[in-house]
Structure 1
Amino acid sequence: MKILMCADGSKISENAIHFGGLLAKAFDAEVVVLHVIENPKFDNSKEILKNALGILEKFNIKPKTKTRRGQPELKIIDEAKKNYDLIVLGSHGMSSIKRFLFGDVAYRIVQCVEIPALIVRERRNKLRKILMCCGGSKYSREVMNFGVKIARAINAEVTLLHVLPNVPEMFRSFGIDETVEQFLKIDTPESRILKETAKLLEKNSIGANIELRHGFPPEEILKEAEGGDYDMIIIGSHGMFGVRRFLLGAVAYKVVQHSRIPCLLVKPKKFKFLSSLAAYKIRF
């Protein structure tokens, strides 16, 4: 695996590099640390890269380093095209507009990169328990397969989560709320993907629980994530093009926006991506 880590000197960036180091060590990955010099008058790239190297040295990782000059998001997007398997970002950087917890720079980068993106906000010192969010779209298998790859590398404990729409109040007395067992017996795209993923995890000797929740998907995912002491959320990042706020995907956007837990966003390979210039022009 080849991982691109982005360093801007902020505490959040260092948190991302630290957590990325946990994952890189498990994969014995090739790591490249990139710093983009936005203003040549304030070039502290040597110090920033030195700090990043110090963090990764604790994991016995010896990364390559690169510096670029220009707009951070554009340079990062261009670098991410060079045969990387994963990009690691802080949830916002020094130059971002901190209107949301999920910063403007990271948001625009995730719109364009064609590889999975690991978004980190707070420092985490372990990577053992993963929450994999399963939808029913045609892209969900790619998300689950990448999640299995991660889980196998770190020998993780995994929970597969699917959120069902709320049952209307008038019907609740009839016992319509499904149990996991009942749900898996029904032949739906969601149940098939859950069963296939559970079997794949079992084949790789990885323990997995299946959880069903009822409600608004982003809220239920966040409740499960915070209450279950998870170390990472894996979720599909595909979404609805044409509505700016939801380019990332309505569910993924809200989860990453509010989650204090690192989120791994997986984009399907056969998906339409924005150009670097188009992403740069996106504004909230």
Structure 2
Amino acid sequence: MRALCATDLSAASEAAIENETCLECLGRIGVDTIHLVTVVPANVHSGMPGVNFEERRRRGLDQYREVIEAAGFDVETHVVRGTPYRRINGIAETVHADLSVVSSRGQSPLENRVIGSTARNLARTTVVPLLVNRVERATDDPEVLREDLFRRVLFATDFSENAERAFDAFSYLRHATEEAALVHVRSPKDEDADIDPRERLAERASTLETWGIETRIEVRHGDPADEILAVESEVTPSAVLVGSKGRSRIRRLLLGSVSEEIVAQATGNVFLVPPPRAV
């Protein structure tokens, strides 16, 4: 598997990319090649006096390369110019990445606005599964909040086609997962459904348990994002696994979707699986 790791060379990015446990977790799910990508924003000019941004960033990536290669991965580096989320998506497609990783402090003060906006825009437009890796807020020397990226997974489902696609990610996440909580939030239109959601969750739990994953199920009522976040605060998973429902470029840019709210507000990591890309 190939992973694309995006970095702006900030302390938050460094905490995620050089964390030994995080790298070990990526190895467990089958990642053997990591593409390190940094994007010089288009409005930053290389001709500014005394500044060579591309060279500085390449040196920064070389430092990361040494750490990641020592952990047993093949590494390729990319220094590009443009709009960060667009270039990251473009490189993910070009190198046939199986997932992308971006760090986020979950806030956007001025000093973190680039990486914060990049994480949000990737959540809306990502072309491959996206791991938003949380790091500590309001500190100059941040640490990763959930080092064991996939040890405890909270899977949120509405039983849609893309939710099932997200569940399929367990086919490789299971090698790093020990516990899982499966959650469905019922809406009024679900009340007349032919199949009890607990039965549907139980079927999926049975699959995970055959893989040795300790699993619990829960059905809630209310606002989907609020209830999913409430479960996250109760079970403190390493990551929330959820599918993105965007079907078109326009819909993906709309604010307020459940997946976007989870990416914005979750305490821990979020693993977002997008719909299949149209050919």
TM-score band w.r.t. shorter chain: 0.7 to 0.9
The CA distance in 2 between the partners of 1:228 and 1:106, in whole Å, is 24
| SS of residue in 2 equivalent to 1:139 | helix
Residues 1:100 and 1:130: Cα distance change in structure 2 (over 3 Å): farther
The CA distance in 1 between the partners of 2:87 and 2:237, in whole Å, is 32
The CA distance in 2 between the partners of 1:115 and 1:192, in whole Å, is 30
Percentage of pairs with the same residue? 26
The CA distance in 1 between the partners of 2:175 and 2:159, in whole Å, is 25
Deviation at 1:213, TM superposition (A): 2.3
The CA distance in 2 between the partners of 1:69 and 1:272, in whole Å, is 26
Name the counterpart of 2:209: 202
Residues 1:246 and 1:98: Cα distance change in structure 2 (over 3 Å): farther
Does residue 154 of the first structure (1) align with residue 176 of the second (2)? Answer: yes
Q: Is the 8 A contact 1:121 1:261 kept in 2?
A: yes
The CA distance in 2 between the partners of 1:65 and 1:130, in whole Å, is 30
The runs of 4+ residues in structure 1 deviating greater than 6 Å are 95-102
Match of 2:118 among 74, 98, 105: 105
Number of matched residues?
Answer: 253
Residues 1:92 and 1:203: Cα distance change in structure 2 (over 3 Å): same
Q: Is the 8 A contact 1:92 1:103 kept in 2?
A: yes
Opposite residue 181 of structure 2, the aligned amino acid is T
Match of 2:86 among 74, 81, 85: 74
Deviation at 1:265, TM superposition (A): 0.3
CA root-mean-square deviation = 3.4
Instruction: Give deviations 1:169-203, integer Å, cap 9, x for gaps.
Output: xxxxxxxxx9xxxxxxx743845642332122122
The CA distance in 2 between the partners of 1:45 and 1:238, in whole Å, is 35
The CA distance in 2 between the partners of 1:245 and 1:98, in whole Å, is 24
Deviation at 1:33, TM superposition (A): 0.9
Name the counterpart of 1:131: 154
Name the counterpart of 2:65: 53
Opposite residue 36 of structure 1, the aligned amino acid is V
Deviation at 1:251, TM superposition (A): 0.7
Runs of at least 5 residues in structure 2 that lack an aligned partner in the other structure: 136-143
The CA distance in 1 between the partners of 2:171 and 2:218, in whole Å, is 17
Q: Is the 8 A contact 1:68 1:75 kept in 2?
A: yes
Residues 1:236 and 1:192: Cα distance change in structure 2 (over 3 Å): farther
Name the counterpart of 1:267: 274
Opposite residue 125 of structure 2, the aligned amino acid is C
The CA distance in 1 between the partners of 2:4 and 2:162, in whole Å, is 24
Match of 2:27 among 18, 25, 28: 25
Deviation at 1:105, TM superposition (A): 2.1
| SS of residue in 1 equivalent to 2:237 | coil
Deviation at 1:49, TM superposition (A): 1.0
Q: Is the 8 A contact 1:134 1:190 kept in 2?
A: no
Name the counterpart of 1:13: 13
Opposite residue 263 of structure 2, the aligned amino acid is V
Deviation at 1:54, TM superposition (A): 5.2
Name the counterpart of 1:258: 265
